């Protein structure tokens, strides 16, 4: 069984502290977070940046990779400005990704990426499905080419087919790539390519996390909270309260994402 037993609780300090409502005593690194304060589809409570930073400090979340929560239409520059402002004010807490609308011409997409790079952002967030754009369209390749040139990270809500993701990994090799949500079918690619990372959010069944650990390399699984629309506890709990070995939990919650930050030039 993957879930709690009295014997396990006695030997796992992360479980004990979590169940007592205490910080885990482990520096946490979050690979998937949204800023912006509002969203069309998700209720956001206590979403002001100052509130999020205070909760990060309480829980021991050292750094979060963040991008806009408003992801749909023509307001992506406005949303990116919110992320830029937060990252500049809280440099020790946030590293930001630029959102682009993949329905726009390639010239406009690259223009916005360059603007955000000059402002200090470290990568791009893609979410074609919510924008009504093709999941494997030319805009995605343009973003990945730009990211590879600047050694950025690209987090994509969904990469389309495995064949398309493999093409991206083979063609634009100098960037880091993140599957923004747990995608068990991509295990073979995660295991083969050093520059592909798998976010854990949001596993919705007890079987999905152990399956990921069983089939994927342990140094490429990274905890993602999906803040601000979800609280950290929602995604921490299934990891901390599992029967995974303590060293695996620490990799997922801390050292793996910290290594990703190092690869894109972010000191954490």
- Mind listing the pLDDT tens digit of every residue in the chain (268 residues)? 444 454 444 579 999 999 999 999 999 999 999 998 766 666 676 678 999 999 999 999 999 999 998 766 668 899 999 999 999 999 999 999 999 999 999 999 999 999 999 999 999 999 999 899 999 999 999 999 999 999 999 999 999 999 999 999 999 999 999 999 999 999 999 999 999 999 999 877 778 999 999 999 999 999 999 998 888 989 999 999 998 999 999 999 999 999 999 999 998 7
Residue 42: predicted pLDDT = 65
In this structure, what are the phi and psi dihedrals at residue 126, rounded to the nearest 5 degrees? -120, 140
Separation CA 208–CA 130 (nearest Å): 24
Question: The dihedral of CA 33, 259, 194, 139: what is its sign?
Answer: positive
Closest CA to 80 of 42, 43, 40, 113: 113
Separation CA 126–CA 128 (nearest Å): 6
Dihedral class, residue 212 (left if φ above 0, else alpha if ψ from -120 to 50, else beta): alpha
Residue 231: predicted pLDDT = 86
Question: The dihedral of CA 8, 13, 14, 16: what is its sign?
Answer: positive
Residue 200, token pair as written in the block: 């854990």
CATH topology (fold) of 6-13+27-263? TIM Barrel (3.20.20)
Partners of residue 264 on adjacent β-strands: none
Residue 40: predicted pLDDT = 65
Residue 240: predicted pLDDT = 95
Residue 207: predicted pLDDT = 84
What does the buried/exposed string (b/e) look like for 205-231 if buried means 16 or more CB atoms within 10 Å of the residue's CB?
Answer: eeeebeebbeebbeebbbbbbbbbbbb
Supply the DSSP symbol for 227.
B
Partners of residue 227 on adjacent β-strands: 33
Q: Cα 189 vs. chain centroid, distance in angstroms?
A: 18
Three-state SS at 218: helix
């Amino acid at each position: 069984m993957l879930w709690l037993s009295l014997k396990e609780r006695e030997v796992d300090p992360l479980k004990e502290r979590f169940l007592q409502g205490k910080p885990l005593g482990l520096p946490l690194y979050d690979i998937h977070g949204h800023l912006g304060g509002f969203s069309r589809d998700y209720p956001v409570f206590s979403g002001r940046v100052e509130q999020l930073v205070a909760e990060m400090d309480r829980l021991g979340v050292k750094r979060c990779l963040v991008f806009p929560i408003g992801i749909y239409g023509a307001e992506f520059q406005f949303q990116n400005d919110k992320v830029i402002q937060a990252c500049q004010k809280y440099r020790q807490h946030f590293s930001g990704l630029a959102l682009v609308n993949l329905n726009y011409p390639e010239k406009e997409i690259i223009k916005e990426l360059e603007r955000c790079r000059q402002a200090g952002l470290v990568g791009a967030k893609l979410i074609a499905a919510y924008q009504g754009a093709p999941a494997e369209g030319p805009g995605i390749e343009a973003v990945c080419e730009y990211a590879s040139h600047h050694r950025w990270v690209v987090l994509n809500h969904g990469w389309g087919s495995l064949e398309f993701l493999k093409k991206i990994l083979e063609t634009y090799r100098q960037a880091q790539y993140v599957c923004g949500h747990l995608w068990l079918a991509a295990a073979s690619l995660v295991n083969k390519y050093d520059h592909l990372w798998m976010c854990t959010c949001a596993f919705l069944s007890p079987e999905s996390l152990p399956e990921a650990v069983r089939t994927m390399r342990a140094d490429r699984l990274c905890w993602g909270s999906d803040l601000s629309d979800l609280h950290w506890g929602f995604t921490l709990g299934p990891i901390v309260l599992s029967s995974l070995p303590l060293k695996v939990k620490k990799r997922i919650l801390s050292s793996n994402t910290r290594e990703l930050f190092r690869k894109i030039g972010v000191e954490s």
